[in-house]
Amino acid sequence: MDLSPRDPDWQGRVRASFSAQKFMTLLGAELVHLSPGAVDLELAMRPELTQQHGFFHAGATSSIADSAAGYAALSLFAPDYGVLTSEYKINLLNPARQPVLLARGRVVKPGRTLTIAKADVYGLDDGEQVHVATGLFTLMSVSGVRD
């Protein structure tokens, strides 16, 4: 599997695009790791992110999984292509009630038009990692959409 970036400025581009995702700012997500085909995001628990039982809302968990997978894909795109999520599926494995969520997005199969990525989300709690979600994502490279 070839995970060579095709854009010399792939790091700058991913970081700039992530910063432009106002929804990630609203949630409070941070980009904590970036390498070709791999992006990790972290999200700290706040009451605003919870569902009715006080866990992270599945939508919050999925949102950081989606952005981690999407930026793992974008890290490999040619300069003139933007990234859009075409579809994804996610399994919620354990209640997400830890102080911090870590979403690891990894490219499974790069492609010119479609890139397949996976994302695993872990709840971090005092040195323990709980696997709270796993998902598969199809990302589309779109020309003329600036990232």
5/13 with CB nearer a copy of itself: 13
| Residue 92 sits in the site that holds a copy of itself (CB under 8 A) | yes
- Total residues at interface with a copy of itself (CB under 8 A): 56
Q: Could you tell me which stretch among 3-11, 30-38, 127-135 binds a copy of itself (CB under 8 A)?
A: 127-135
What is the DSSP pairing of strand 128-143 with strand 100-109? unpaired
DSSP for 10-52 reads HHHHHHHHHHT-HHHHHHT-EEEEEETTEEEEEEE--GGGB-T
56/90 Cα distance (integer angstroms): 15
| Residue 26 sits in the site that holds a copy of itself (CB under 8 A) | yes
| Residue 48 sits in the site that holds a copy of itself (CB under 8 A) | yes
What is the DSSP pairing of strand 100-109 with strand 30-35? unpaired
| Residue 93 sits in the site that holds a copy of itself (CB under 8 A) | yes
Tokens at residue 136, please?
A: 């598969």
109/87 Cα distance (integer angstroms): 15
Subset of 66-85 contacting a copy of itself (CB under 8 A): 66-67, 70, 82, 84-85
Measured in degrees and rounded to the nearest 5, phi and psi for residue 64 equal -75, -30
Residues near a copy of itself (CB under 8 A)? 1, 17-18, 20-27, 47-53, 57-60, 62-64, 66-67, 70, 82, 84-95, 108-109, 113-114, 116, 118, 131, 134-136, 138, 140, 145-147
